[in-house]
Amino acid sequence: MSQSDQDFEFERQAEPYKIVVSKQGAELTGILGQAVKAFGLDSYETSLLTRRAANTMKAFAVLLVVNFVFDLAAWWLLFNAVFSGGRGIFDLGWHSVVALIFSLLISSAIFIYEQQFMTADISNRKSRFAMPIVLRVGVIVAAAFITTQPVELMLFRGPNERRVHEESIRLEAITRLKDSQDAQKKQTRKGVPPILLEDQKEAQDKKQQEEQKLRDLKNELQSAEQRLASAQGWLRSVRTQYNNAPTDKPEIKESLRLRIASAEAAVAAGNEKVSFLNQNIRDQQSSVDSSKRDLEAANIKVNDHVKSGVNEEGRVRNWIAQVRQSKRGVPVKDDGWKFQDQTYDFFDQLRVLREMTEGRPTRWPEASQEDIDDLAKNFNFMAPAEEVAEAQRDAKFYSYAYWAVFGIAFVIPALLLAFKLLQPQELRDYYSREKQEGEQYDYVETGY
């Protein structure tokens, strides 16, 4: 080796060497620290992780859970209401399981998006980050609008049901008014409402059944009385034989005494049976009398239609008065007519809610203006002008409450977006790939 080569080797070996030590930051401890790890927010583990950045991560983990729970509940209410077929937001069944699956899918997708959004590096790519922000704001607004619907239906359940009840009453009034206009003629047997004939037939059948039961009981009582009389005759005969038996033959006396005991038992059983049947006959007679009264009442209703006819206008007026006094959700039945609230599906209920918030009056289904004026004048319904004024007064409250619920649905996911944009510099540095690659190691000189 030449002298120059030896000098170079000496200088090379004399250069100081370094040991690379990875920088260590704050530890993620506690339940919230475990949540941060489980949610994948610690992308670079503890490298460059300051205490402030760790606390911010924990706070974000809490917001993620709150947002996930809110989304899950809101989407479940939405799908459960849609799949229930108008039976109600909280109607439970197999459709509720399907609704839960759909809501879990959407809530999980939003959760994953938020996690990726939070851990994104925006240190040197703010222009590229603008589009995801705009997209996220759009998703927040759309999701808030959609998930607000079932929550608002739950909040306005009472006013919504009252509006549905009122629309059902108006539909019933219109229907009966049109029917009465087509039926102003004397009723005949053929024109008797079928339900009255069914009630009459049912009452006749019930009376015949009760009378047959009474006859069967009386026949059974007659047989029991005959058996009792036979047992009583047997007892008298055995007692006579016992009294006339020779006293010097105790075995005959003992045999007759046993026969007397058997006869007395038969008589006691017979008396008990007769008493039991007499009580049953009295009870059955009461049932027969009740069935006769029911039949008489049914006959009176039918005969009223057959003989005297019906004042249709008065009948309609009385019926509408009963319907208007009914409670929502409670069926009404009288004189062959039945009424119950209409079943509105999810989208019909949303339509009712929109009409209330926009100050529109209760609808008149399938009604002309002439029909509306007639009912308002002759049946004490509120005039259209008065309805509009009242609906507009109530609309202010409904509108404020509607936008308040929308604001709640908007603000929770919006907090996550604001959290990302306002995060401290320490957390920006932690998620910065450039910072992690350039500063994540300490180089310690240790000597020659």
Q: 132-163 pLDDT, tens per residue?
A: 778 778 878 887 787 777 777 777 777 778 88
Q: pLDDT-based confidence at 174, cuts 50/70/90?
A: confident
State yes or no: pLDDT of 126 exceeds 90.
no
Q: 17-37 pLDDT, tens per residue?
A: 444 444 556 678 788 888 888
The pLDDT of 358-367, averaged and rounded, is 77
Give the tokens for residue 246.
């020779």
Residue keyed to tokens 């998930």:
147
State yes or no: pLDDT of 4 exceeds 60.
no
State yes or no: pLDDT of 105 exceeds 90.
yes
The pLDDT of 288-308, averaged and rounded, is 76
State yes or no: pLDDT of 441 exceeds 70.
no
Q: 240-295 pLDDT, tens per residue?
A: 887 877 777 777 778 878 888 888 888 888 888 888 888 888 888 888 888 888 88
The architecture in CATH of the region 189-308 reads Orthogonal Bundle (1.10)
At 101 the pLDDT is 92
Q: 364-422 pLDDT, tens per residue?
A: 777 777 777 777 777 777 766 677 777 777 777 777 777 887 887 788 778 877 877 77
Q: Which residue has the higher pLDDT, 57 or 6?
A: 57
The pLDDT of 351-366, averaged and rounded, is 79
At 274 the pLDDT is 86
At 383 the pLDDT is 65
- How many percent of the chain have pLDDT more than 90? 1
Q: pLDDT-based confidence at 170, cuts 50/70/90?
A: confident
At 19 the pLDDT is 46
Q: pLDDT-based confidence at 104, cuts 50/70/90?
A: very high
Q: pLDDT-based confidence at 117, cuts 50/70/90?
A: confident
At 121 the pLDDT is 76
State yes or no: pLDDT of 213 exceeds 80.
yes
Q: pLDDT-based confidence at 183, cuts 50/70/90?
A: low
Domain boundaries, the chain: 14-157+400-447, 189-308
Q: 56-84 pLDDT, tens per residue?
A: 888 888 888 888 888 888 888 888 877 87
At 392 the pLDDT is 76
